[in-house]
Amino acid sequence: MTLRALIFDVDGTLAETEELHRRAFNDTFAVEGLAWDWDRDGYRELLKTTGGKERMLAFAAREGIDFSTEEAARLHKIKTARYATLVDRGGLELRPGIAELIDKARAHGLKLAVATTTSPQNVDQLCHSCWGRAATEVFDTIAAGDQVAQKKPAPDVYQLALQQLGLPAEDTIAFEDTANGVRSARAAGIRVVVTPSMYSGAEDFTGADWILPTLARANWTADLASLLPAA
């Protein structure tokens, strides 16, 4: 294997964003007059459904609530704007090791990509907050959930990232924080590093090639360190 690109999930992997997403959902529900309030335990279960619109539809179906895909799309636009407002307030930080790894990868000529179920707008918001730059200035390509037929755990978004990069799976490594993400990357033939996040720590990461608490270099295994750019 010749490592030529790193592919990153976003929420929970680059930064611990899921709590801000939960707050944005709840704020949207309150403004729209919905008696929905997602606590942390409930949201942890809902995160097993990838995609914000899909998550609302799954919740409504579970609760026996009449809720259309059109209404989910409308609320999701409001929620996305609310999330942007929360991120703009500051305090969002990259998870340990992310900034250093991306800097070293870029310095060593590796390509950088995103494969995410979140929207491109949310990726851009995170990059502006954490790097002070647009997402397209941090990453070479961004593959997002709404650009593919099926979201994670299907391999579609990783396959799209590979297509955009023009690389075979064996020349890349994916970085994830969830079991669905692991299944998605592995189904695309990509090796996966998992750093469990605050909402995914209890999940089953079977199939992952490496499971680390964070991407801080002190946590790297010897075989992973032989592949990733040296400090």
Cα separation, 11 vs 16, whole angstroms: 7
Last residue of a domain, one of 68, 88, 108: 88
Structure token digits, residue 71: 């209404």
CA–CA distances in Å: residue 106 to residues 93, 110, 227? 20, 6, 14
Domain region containing 59: 18-88
Mean pLDDT of the chain: 96
Number of domains in the chain: 2
**CA 184 centroid distance within chain:** 12
Q: Running DSSP on this structure, what letter comes out for residue 95? A: P
Is residue 11 annotated as part of the catalytic site, yes or no? yes
CA–CA distances in Å: residue 51 to residues 21, 134, 163? 11, 22, 22
Per-residue pLDDT reduced to its tens digit, 95-120: 999 999 999 999 999 999 999 999 99
pLDDT for the residue 231:
58
pTM of the predicted model as reported, rounded to 2 decimal places = 0.94
Cα separation, 117 vs 149, whole angstroms: 11
Which position among 9, 124, 156, 209 bears the catalytic label?
9
Per-residue pLDDT reduced to its tens digit, 127-180: 999 999 999 999 999 999 889 999 999 999 999 999 999 999 999 999 999 999
Helical axes 179-187 vs 156-165, angle rounded to 10°: 50
In a domain, 231, yes or no: no
Per-residue pLDDT reduced to its tens digit, 47-100: 999 999 999 999 999 999 999 999 999 999 999 999 999 999 988 999 999 999
In a domain, 44, yes or no: yes
Last residue of a domain, one of 41, 66, 88: 88
Per-residue pLDDT reduced to its tens digit, 8-41: 999 999 999 999 999 999 999 999 999 999 999 9
Cα separation, 215 vs 8, whole angstroms: 12
Cα separation, 114 vs 155, whole angstroms: 14
- Count H helices and E strands in the chain, helices first: 10, 6
In terms of domains, do 152 and 97 share one? Answer: yes
Which position among 11, 156, 177, 209 bears the catalytic label?
11
**What backbone torsions phi and psi does residue 229 show, to the nearest 5 degrees?**
-60, 135
Examine the pLDDT at 230 and tell me if it is beyond 80: no
Go through the chain and tell me how many residues it has.
231
Is residue 27 annotated as part of the catalytic site, yes or no? no
In terms of domains, do 103 and 212 share one? Answer: yes
CATH code, domain with 41 = 1.10.150.240
In terms of domains, do 218 and 127 share one? Answer: yes
